[in-house]
C-alpha cells in the first residue's frame, strides 16, 4: 500500500465524485485537508472487518470487492466498488468498527477522509449530511435486493439474472480475476454448484461457456429462467 497526501489533487477528485455534487468550496477544502490517497495492488486488503474505522472512502480508479468471510473461509461478495463510489458510511456514522472486509481486485487508487473530518462536515454542512445519507440509503436498497436473491431465488435463477444484467452484445466477459470461485461468491454459492448451473443452462442451449466469455444464445429464455419476463 502506498500513502500520499495532496490537497490539490484531493479537491479535484472529490469535486468530481457524484455523491458530493452540489457541495460548496468550503466543504471540499475541509474534506481535502483531511484526505489521504491510498494505492493498492491487486489482491491487497484495503481494510478488514472489525478493524477500527479509519474514515469514509472514495474510489478514484480500479475496482474493489466488499466481502463477508465465514469462520470456514467462505466468501460472500456484497458489492464491487468502482470509480466514483463512496463506501464505509456505516462505520463512520455508527462510530463502529469496519463492518466488512474490502480487497482490491485490480490495481486501485482511493482516498480516505478521516472520521474526525467527516464528523465536522456532518455538523457544519447539512447538505453533506444529506448526500451521505442518500448514498447510504442506496447501499441499503442494494443489500435488500441481495437478501431477496439469496433467500428467494435458486442458484440457476441468480446466475441467469446475473448474466442477463451484465451482458453486452449478448456476451459476458470473463475477466482475468473473475474466477469460478469469485462468481460463486458473488452469487452466494460454491463453485461445484455454480458449475452445475452453468452446465444446465448450456445443455438447454441458452448459453455457451467459453474460456473468456459466456455467450447468451437465447436471451428470452434466459430472462424467463431469471424470472425477469416483462
How far are the Cα atoms of 37, 67, 94, 102 from residue 98, in angstroms, in the given order? 19, 11, 10, 9
The pLDDT of residue 228: 58
The pLDDT of residue 139: 83
What is the pLDDT averaged over residues 189-215? 92
Residues 6 or more apart whose CB falls under 8 angstroms from that of 53 comprise 88, 91, 92, 95, 96, 97, 98, 115
The overall average pLDDT reported for the chain is 89
For 22-64, how does the pLDDT look when each residue is reduced to its tens digit (9 = 90+)?
899 999 999 888 899 999 999 999 999 999 999 999 999 999 9
For 144-201, how does the pLDDT look when each residue is reduced to its tens digit (9 = 90+)?
888 888 888 999 999 999 999 888 999 998 876 677 888 888 898 988 999 999 999 9
Higher pLDDT, 135 or 203: 203
Q: Output Rg (C-alpha) for the chain, integer angstroms.
A: 20
Q: Can you tell me which residue has the cell 480487497?
A: 103
Query: Domains (ranges, CATH) in the chain?
Result: 2-151 (2.60.120.10), 154-225 (1.10.10.10)
Local confidence band at 80 (pLDDT 50, 70, 90 cut-offs): very high
Q: Which helix (H) or strand (E) holds 77?
A: strand 75-82
4 DSSP β-pair partners = 37
What is the pLDDT averaged over residues 131-154? 86
Q: Is the dihedral of CA 98, 148, 159, 61 positive or negative?
A: negative
Higher pLDDT, 19 or 7: 19
Q: Tell me the residue ranges of DSSP E strands in 105-179.
A: 108-114, 171-173
Local confidence band at 230 (pLDDT 50, 70, 90 cut-offs): very low
User: Quick one: 201 exposed, middle or buried, by C-beta within 10 A (0-12, 13-18, 19+)?
Assistant: buried
The pLDDT of residue 186: 86
Please report how many Cα atoms fall inside a 13 Å half-sphere around the Cα of residue 136, on the Cβ side: 15
The pLDDT of residue 70: 86
Local confidence band at 220 (pLDDT 50, 70, 90 cut-offs): very high
Residue 3 has pLDDT above 80, yes or no: no
Residue 229 has pLDDT above 80, yes or no: no
Amino acid at each position: 500500500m502506498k500513502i500520499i497526501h495532496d490537497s490539490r489533487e484531493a479537491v479535484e477528485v472529490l469535486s468530481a465524485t457524484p455523491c458530493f455534487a452540489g457541495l460548496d468550496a468550503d466543504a471540499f477544502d475541509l474534506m481535502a485537508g483531511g484526505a489521504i490517497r491510498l494505492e493498492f495492488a491487486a489482491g491487497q486488503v484495503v481494510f478488514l472487518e472489525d478493524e477500527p474505522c479509519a474514515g469514509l472512502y472514495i474510489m478514484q480508479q480500479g475496482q474493489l470487492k466488499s466481502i463477508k468471510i465465514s469462520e470456514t473461509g467462505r466468501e460472500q461478495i456484497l458489492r464491487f466498488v468502482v470509480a466514483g463510489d463512496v463506501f464505509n458510511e456505516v462505520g463512520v456514522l455508527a462510530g463502529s468498527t469496519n463492518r466488512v472486509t474490502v480487497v482490491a481486485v485490480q490495481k486501485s487508487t482511493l482516498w480516505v477522509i478521516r472520521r474526525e473530518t467527516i464528523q465536522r462536515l456532518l455538523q457544519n454542512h447539512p447538505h453533506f449530511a444529506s448526500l451521505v445519507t442518500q448514498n447510504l440509503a442506496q447501499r441499503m436498497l442494494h443489500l435488500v435486493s441481495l437478501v431477496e436473491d439469496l433467500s428467494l431465488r435458486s442458484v440457476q435463477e441468480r446466475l441467469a439474472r446475473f448474466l442477463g444484467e451484465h451482458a453486452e452484445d449478448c456476451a459476458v466477459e470473463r475477466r482475468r480475476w473473475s474466477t469460478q470461485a469469485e462468481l460463486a461468491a458473488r452469487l452466494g454459492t460454491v463453485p461445484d454448484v455454480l458449475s452445475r448451473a452453468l452446465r444446465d443452462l448450456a445443455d438447454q442451449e441458452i448459453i455457451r461457456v467459453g474460456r473468456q466469455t459466456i455467450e447468451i444464445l437465447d436471451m428470452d429464455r434466459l430472462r424467463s429462467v431469471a424470472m425477469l419476463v416483462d
